[in-house]
Amino acid sequence: MKSRLTRKEMLPLVGMTVSAFIFNTSEFMPIGLLTDIAKSFSISESKAGMLITVYSWIVMLLSLPLILLVSKIDFRKLFMGTIALFGICQIMSVIAPTYGVLMASRIGVACTHAIFWSIASPVAIRLVNEEHRSFALSMVVTGTSIATIAGLPLGRLVGQYMGWRVTFLIVGIIAFAVLVYMAFVFPKIASGEQFHVRDLPALLKNPVLICLYVQTILFVLGYYTVYSYIEPFMQQVAKLQNNVITIVLLIFGATGLLGSYLFSKLYDRHRFAFIGTVMATLLVWLLLLLPASKSLATMVILCAFWGITAMAFNVTTQSEVIRSVDEKGSAVATAIYSGLFNLGIGGGSWIGGIVCDKGAISYIGLVGAVFAVISVLFFAFVLLRKLKQSVN
């Protein structure tokens, strides 16, 4: 029978959960605020969308280098410094007088994002004894899930009624509150074993891992080509009111919990079929986006199923990445996965911005579907075979 978590273990875990929430909320806040930010600086929505693109590319470029650099630093100092810089950059966003300053502040946040998600899981499991490690990791995932469900739509709601700057201000205030809280409850934790650059070649010779990385890039490219501009799509094409858009985004996020539930029930028993279904359903939702925009009901239904697919993909691919490597390489493999995921986000938002600039936002779902088709074909003819070979 498992022992209960002690107060000393639980209190910092709560802080980690809130930290995961604000980091993920901050990453995707501009998606729900693009129109307001664009108007504020008299720029196009595609240029405002570069806030998402550049952020993602910074995370992509820094995730691996930073995990190699910070492995010897005391986790407590590193965590506290990361949260402090995150909060400062949020305040910079609040007072940004120009688009350039806002972009600079977002680059700063992206740097802290790269550091935080390189250490979040190692920190969480070191806060508790071995029998509670799964629970510790689930706490971090809970913060991420809550951000997916509520962070973006609530951020948009605040921005709608109080201005987009207030949204960044609230995230900054929460960050500094977490900093003070963790100063009292975060224990000193020794850093883990350093992963050296010379260890990378062996990791990158793993054929299953490489295929998972390619699959991730293809899927995320298709997904974020469309999702990065879902707010202006619902305004301009679906003709939805602002408050209705917020509700639809909330439904989109909330159904992600069902995707996580389906993963827990079906993945172990029907592993390959589950992965293939996730890949195929994204293609279906993107192809149906324009027809679904004809009515509110069909738009809500499509976004609900889309949310299920999005969360199922995130959980599934992370599980497959961890499954494909040994324990020593899991942190680095996950860091590379995070970087490539953000490569897909940045590339997708950039492509979506081009579509918007061409005045073709109505057809953005079809553009995203091109990458989804390639993703399905890659899974069917390459990844699936590698996964089955690894089992045999």
Task: Tell the burial category of 62 from Cβ atoms under 10 Å away from its Cβ (0-12, 13-18, 19+).
Answer: buried
The structural domains of the chain, with segments of one domain joined by +, span 7-194, 196-392
Where does 196-392 sit in CATH, by number? 1.20.1250.20
pLDDT digits (tens, 9 = 90+) for 193-246: 555 666 677 778 899 999 999 999 999 999 999 988 888 899 999 999 888 887
- pLDDT of residue 271 exceeding 70, the answer is yes
Sequence-distant (≥ 6) Cβ neighbours of residue 269 within 8 angstroms: none
139, 121 Cβ separation under 8 angstroms: no
Fold: same for 7-194 and 196-392: yes
Residues of the chain with pLDDT > 90, as a percent, come to 39
- pLDDT of residue 57 exceeding 80, the answer is yes
Confidence at residue 90, expressed as pLDDT on a 0 to 100 scale: 95
DSSP 194: P
Confidence at residue 193, expressed as pLDDT on a 0 to 100 scale: 57
pLDDT digits (tens, 9 = 90+) for 82-141: 999 999 999 999 999 999 999 999 999 999 998 888 777 777 777 877 777 666 766 776
Residues of the chain with pLDDT > 70, as a percent, come to 91
Q: What is the CA radius of gyration of the chain?
A: 20
Where does 7-194 sit in CATH, by number? 1.20.1250.20
More confident call, 126 vs 278: 278
51, 30 Cβ separation under 8 angstroms: yes
pLDDT digits (tens, 9 = 90+) for 148-172: 666 767 777 787 788 889 989 999 9
Confidence at residue 345, expressed as pLDDT on a 0 to 100 scale: 84
